[in-house]
Amino acid sequence: MISKRSVQFKIYRYDPDRDEKPYLQDITVELEPSDKKLLDALVRLRAKDDSMSFRRSCREGVCGSDAMNINGKNGLACLTDVDSLVQPITLRPLPGLPVIRDLIVDMTQFFKQYHSIKPYLVNNEPTPERERLQSPEEREELNGLYECILCACCSTSCPSFWWNPDKFVGPAGLLAAYRFLADTRDQDTNARLDNLEDPYRLFRCHSIMNCVDVCPKNLNPTRAIGKIKDMMVRRAI
């Protein structure tokens, strides 16, 4: 049984309207027995200090809003058990992206890379009356790819993305690229591979695997990246 307990935090604070520079704030929060997830604790904290800012929506790990750096590792607040964390719990915004305020980062660069891989199905054949057929095995190829919630935990834990966020597509974008390459209904394979055949866009990935380690949906961008590289090699011979 979880009872009422107090939990200690160190939280990155920065409000450009007020603060000259960011600082880490020590905060203690009294939790109710029903507060189980880190997000519950943050909501409880906000009832005391309404200036503490972070994004959140679904509270069940599907919307991708509340990604943050939790004790040094990226994750979703709503899927993290408070009691599993070493105190003081240190919370920082996702690394490598400009901070707007407190735990809120500017995701522009992240979405720019996602958009750069043409994240939509391309099929120029006349539209059939009914669904395009796909066998269960062909559909299975999309498992582990389509479930991405665009939380950016992966890309913001990737050193290659930190150094070249404008040039390297990053794990989330590449996972999405492979999601369309792997779809039997998509006809844009060559253009998609051309789009990535570049010293930076794809090949900055050095298989460091940070991305796999942090993905809250247990997806494996490194494997997807490897498969794209395979397709490139196969195309070349």
Residues within the interface to ligand SF4 (CB under 6 A):
148-154, 158, 160, 171-172, 175, 205-211, 215, 217, 219, 221-222, 225
Interface with ligand FES in residues 45-74 (CB under 6 A): 56-59, 61-66
Shortest Å distance, C-beta 209 to ligand SF4: 5
Residues 170-189 that bind ligand FES (CB under 6 A): none
* C-beta of 80 vs 222, nearer to ligand FES: 80
* DSSP 8-state assignment for residue 37: B
Nearer to another protein, 51 or 207 (CB): 51
Helix/strand/coil percentages in the chain, nearest 5? 35, 15, 50
| 215 to 18, 31, 117, 198, 208: CA distances (angstroms) | 34, 27, 20, 26, 14
Rounded to a whole number of angstroms, the minimum distance from the CB of residue 106 to ligand SF4 is 16
Sheet containing 73-76, strands listed edge to edge, beginning at the edge strand earlier in sequence: 23-31, 5-13, 89-92, 67-70, 73-76
CA dist list (Å): 127 to 131, 143, 191 = 9, 25, 21
- Residue 187 C-beta: closest distance to ligand SF4, Å: 25
> Which residues of the shown chain bind ligand FES in the complex (CB under 6 A)?
56-59, 61-66, 76, 78
